[in-house]
Structure 1
Amino acid sequence: MSQTQTPEQAPTVVVYHKRRNVELFMLVLACAVGIGAYWITSMNLLGESPANLPYVAGVWLGLALLCHIVVRWRLPYADPLILPCVFFLNGLGLVMIHRLDLATRYADEPANDAVTQLMWTVLAVGVLIFGIFVVRDYRPLQRFTYTLALLGIGLLLLPLVPGIGRTINGSSIWIGVGPFSFQPSEVAKIALAIAFSSYLVEKRDVLAMAGARILGIDLPRPRDLGPILIVWGVAMAILVFQRDLGTSLLFFGLFVMMIYVATERPGWAVLGLLMFAGGGFLGYSIFGHVRTRVQAWLDPFADPEANYQVIQGLFGFAWGGMTGTGLGLGQPWRTPLAKSDYIMASIGEELGVAGLMAVIMVYAILVARALRTALASREPFGKLLAAGLGFVWALQVFAIVGGVTKLLPLTGLTTPFMSQGGSSLLANWTVAGLLLIISHQVRRPVITGPALVDNESTQVINRPRGVR
């Protein structure tokens, strides 16, 4: 039999451009924004250029170039916009923490949290580079479904263990080891995103089966409700016992959104929304601390002393207006936890609504690139994992921005890459690393057609125009 293939049968190669030079240009631009903001802050507050500007600029550009070189070498087809967006957000967060440090320069013990945050950033970059070398292919992670699920749930509930759990600012979401504290939910979100992806790949055909039809929506079958009930129960335990609406919303929302992506059944999303709303109403009716959060959301001025943080954040937005007071020219330090929970309010005051929207758009680009990777993925595990990691960022930003602008009740979630805290930085840089790995696998040249050719030996046959 002849082995000659007709043009229609011949395998085609869909090739994405590597775009590493685009990444390098955008990285330099992102670093320039951060370095420029650092200089402007010092000029506005101190009236002089910072003496350590060359060293700070060298360290920041050096970190960016190191990441770029590693990605260019190990992941040449990775998405070109993820790293620049991460460096932009991380750099702006460092500048704002430094600006708030300067507000304490006349105190007996001036704060130096920006240096600590920079050290955590260096460590987080090291974790990203280590992960790129060790986990070049994400697909073997699919084998650890139930191990990672138990690990994730265990980490979420770990702060409830007597002796190591710590209550900070009313929420029991921290564990303490000596003088150090750690937020295990930041690691749990990664483990659970992987576990949910693997589980839904195995069970999506069963979960996609329709049950009763109500108002034109096919609801799931009652026999398939076990997983969502377990996740809902854990989420309610977090809300009730750890007093943390943010982690509860993130955990349950991640599962519901991923099961919707896996099954394409809107009934799951509707059911999840109703379950969380019902659980929240039950918590409001029974537990005082839940009721306090909701009342602070509905009318913070009813108790100005108890809701001082919420009120000061709103005043900060009002003072900033559309264009902001300017870096170093506002008073964001008047708001409690301005470096962590309320760093977006600090951004809104000094950069204005316009600056805040620009930051949110950078987050939107990150989420969009994650979802683009999910859409381009050729296998279900990568599709669900990329979508899940993108949802993690989207839910966090939605919850924290909604909380500081009084769209939602205030949550204890951190703002990815910007809020003060080492556990948040390490976790979010790890998420960025996983997305770089997945996008590299997705964008590599692949033969489609009757022939089976190893990816490493693929030659370019066709390079479609417009494919990025």
Structure 2
Amino acid sequence: MIATRLRQVSLLVFAMLLSFIAFFQMFERTAGAFPVKFAGMLVLAGVLFLVLWGLLLKFQPYASQSILPCVLLLTAIGTMMIARIDDANGTDVAFRQLIWLCVALVLTMLLIVFLRDYRVLRRFSYVSMVIGLVLLLSPMIPGIGKDIGGARIWIGFGSHTFQPGEFTKLFLAFFFAAYLFDHRDQLAVGGRKVLGMRLPRIKDTGPIIVVWLASMGVLVIQQDLGTALMFFAMFVSMLYVATGRKSWVVIGFLAFAVGCVTAAKLFAHVEYRVQAWLHPLDPAVYNQYPGGSSQLVKGMFGMSSGGLMGTGLGQGHPALTPLANSDFIYSSLGEELGLTGLLAILVLYLVIIASGLITAMRIKDGFGKLLAAGLVFTMAFQVFTVVGGITLVIPLTGLTLPYMAAGGSSLIANFVLAGLLIVISNAANKPEPDTLSDTFQYEALVALGERGRERGQHGQDRQRSTEGKGEAA
């Protein structure tokens, strides 16, 4: 047991060491010295990570130990690149990101300590739905909703902005997991068989129609293709996990594709994204305003200049791309870390996603299985949409890369997501009672009781025999 704990903490310490080396190298090349204010915040964040690990050992002793080091590395690499871009732009976003990181760590600690049993979330399924919908629609409230970058997905208070959609995905995951767990039998019943797939019955398609309409509403009203795709994909993937029917997946994505094509024809902001995706190097599209492809092309050229091994930390020009520390942080990292660094980042995400999928497969509770699958699929789709948009696999979506992009709301929400996966993994990995030894003990007690009854019966027979002989005499 001690060897296992040492191996686990060594992963965390190794991740911290790599993070320190990255910050040290970057600051030495850009500023010539390690800033004192960053040193203090980094030490505080490192201490909080160690405290979080200690709380995991005490309150969630069987939880997966591979998630936390990967989250640490991703957060450190992202914050380091944000600080690098701050040096070029004269901004101070990275220091605020470290403050949000400390807040996220404290909230994750509270989650680890007080959420002993994740199944309590099932009691608040409809409350979670209401909270999720309120957060989703809150940017449309006049006075607090903010339109940034052509998408109305922010709410603002003074100079501070907040992206409620990041927390909406958590509350909707709670609701979907509880709803699908309660209605999985009805949804699993199929109707006619078409092209080798058993289609669902018409009366069971109500939930997917409602979610499709809600997703299209977000796409149309808030001009946010990424959030619509993320919510709809999360629900369809959880629906497939609950029922095991491929027909739900096919119908879901066909419906979403029809909605996207219709929106691209009817609404200008969607058409701009599609044109920038299809013809990024066309001069007319490049210089078009609004909705041109200049930002996308600059990010592509930044990644291409990095080559296989990158220009080196502090030696590239990532700040030339607009929104280089948020929407396009992946291209900024590609310039200075190269293709090798980008693949390493994707491997870190893959480890987290694989840990979540293993948890979903191991846990026997249906609600926990659906919740773990929904959370991990949400992260996977978010990473895919961001990386796919920057690399021209799909149109740009405007989502942020989990743990790496600048933004407090995204950082806190994704740390809570990781904390939930850790709590569920603790229940999944908890060893079952030794049922075999319990069976042996039960059988021994039964045998002992039978022997006692046999001895008592034998004594009664002897007594009757003696009494019979006495009467005969």
Q: TM-score, normalised by structure 1?
A: 0.89
Structure holding more helix per residue: 2
**Could you tell me whether the CA contact under 8 Å between 2:276 and 2:286 is conserved in 1?**
no
1:149 Cα shift? Answer: 1.4
What do residues 180-214 of structure 1 show as CA deviations (whole Å, max 9, x unaligned)? 21111111000011110010100111101112222
Instruction: Report the Cα distance in structure 2 between the residues aligned to 1:390 and 1:334, rounded to whole angstroms.
Output: 33
Partner of residue 311, structure 1: 297
Partner of residue 5, structure 1: none
Instruction: Report the Cα distance in structure 1 between the residues aligned to 2:20 and 2:324, rounded to whole angstroms.
Output: 21
Instruction: Report the Cα distance in structure 2 between the residues aligned to 1:184 and 1:55, rounded to whole angstroms.
Output: 30
Instruction: Report the Cα distance in structure 2 between the residues aligned to 1:296 and 1:71, rounded to whole angstroms.
Output: 46
Instruction: Report the Cα distance in structure 2 between the residues aligned to 1:228 and 1:17, rounded to whole angstroms.
Output: 49
Instruction: Report the Cα distance in structure 1 between the residues aligned to 2:4 and 2:136, rounded to whole angstroms.
Output: 38
1:63 Cα shift? Answer: 2.0
Partner of residue 266, structure 1: 246
Which sits farther off after the overlay, 16-25 or 278-287? Answer: 16-25
Partner of residue 248, structure 1: 228
5+ residue gaps in structure 2?
A: 440-473
1:56 Cα shift? Answer: 5.0
Instruction: Report the Cα distance in structure 2 between the residues aligned to 1:151 and 1:161, rounded to whole angstroms.
Output: 15
Instruction: Report the Cα distance in structure 2 between the residues aligned to 1:397 and 1:318, rounded to whole angstroms.
Output: 20
Instruction: Report the Cα distance in structure 2 between the residues aligned to 1:54 and 1:152, rounded to whole angstroms.
Output: 38
5+ residue gaps in structure 1?
A: 1-15, 105-109, 454-468
- 2:46 is matched with which residue: 56, 61, 80? 61
Partner of residue 408, structure 1: 394
- 1:210 is matched with which residue: 177, 190, 202? 190
Instruction: Report the Cα distance in structure 2 between the residues aligned to 1:170 and 1:187, rounded to whole angstroms.
Output: 21
- 1:74 is matched with which residue: 59, 64, 78? 59
- 2:319 is matched with which residue: 328, 333, 340? 333
**Could you tell me whether the CA contact under 8 Å between 1:416 and 1:424 is conserved in 2?**
yes
Partner of residue 11, structure 1: none
Instruction: Report the Cα distance in structure 1 between the residues aligned to 2:241 and 2:234, rounded to whole angstroms.
Output: 11
Which sits farther off after the overlay, 84-93 or 159-168? Answer: 159-168
Within-5 A mapping of 1:145-160: 145-160=125-140
Partner of residue 424, structure 1: 410
Secondary structure (helix, strand or coil) at the match of 2:176 reads helix
Aligned residues: percent identity?
Answer: 44
Instruction: Name which structure has the greater RCO, CA cutoff 8 Å, separation 6+.
Output: 1
The alpha-carbon distance between structure 1 residues 48 and 201, as it changes in their structure 2 partners (threshold 3 A), is same
How many corresponding residue pairs? 433
Secondary structure (helix, strand or coil) at the match of 2:183 reads helix
Secondary structure (helix, strand or coil) at the match of 2:316 reads coil
**Could you tell me whether the CA contact under 8 Å between 1:317 and 1:348 is conserved in 2?**
yes
What do residues 253-312 of structure 1 show as CA deviations (whole Å, max 9, x unaligned)? 000000001100000010111011000001011111111110011012222222211010
Within-5 A mapping of 1:115-264: 115-264=95-244
The alpha-carbon distance between structure 1 residues 19 and 439, as it changes in their structure 2 partners (threshold 3 A), is farther
The alpha-carbon distance between structure 1 residues 178 and 51, as it changes in their structure 2 partners (threshold 3 A), is closer
Look at both structures and tell me which one has the larger radius of gyration over its CA atoms: 2
Structure 1 vs Structure 2 CA RMSD? 1.8
The alpha-carbon distance between structure 1 residues 50 and 115, as it changes in their structure 2 partners (threshold 3 A), is closer
1:31 Cα shift? Answer: 1.0
1:67 Cα shift? Answer: 1.0
Residue 24 (structure 2) pairs with residue 39 (structure 1): yes
- 1:385 is matched with which residue: 352, 365, 371? 371
What do residues 116-145 of structure 1 show as CA deviations (whole Å, max 9, x unaligned)? 000000000010011112212100111112
The alpha-carbon distance between structure 1 residues 173 and 47, as it changes in their structure 2 partners (threshold 3 A), is same
Residue 12 (structure 2) pairs with residue 27 (structure 1): yes
Secondary structure (helix, strand or coil) at the match of 2:392 reads coil
The alpha-carbon distance between structure 1 residues 54 and 291, as it changes in their structure 2 partners (threshold 3 A), is closer
Instruction: Report the Cα distance in structure 2 between the residues aligned to 1:391 and 1:20, rounded to whole angstroms.
Output: 29
**Could you tell me whether the CA contact under 8 Å between 1:39 and 1:53 is conserved in 2?**
no
Instruction: Report the Cα distance in structure 2 between the residues aligned to 1:450 and 1:272, rounded to whole angstroms.
Output: 45
- 2:306 is matched with which residue: 299, 308, 320? 320
Instruction: Report the Cα distance in structure 1 between the residues aligned to 2:133 and 2:198, rounded to whole angstroms.
Output: 30
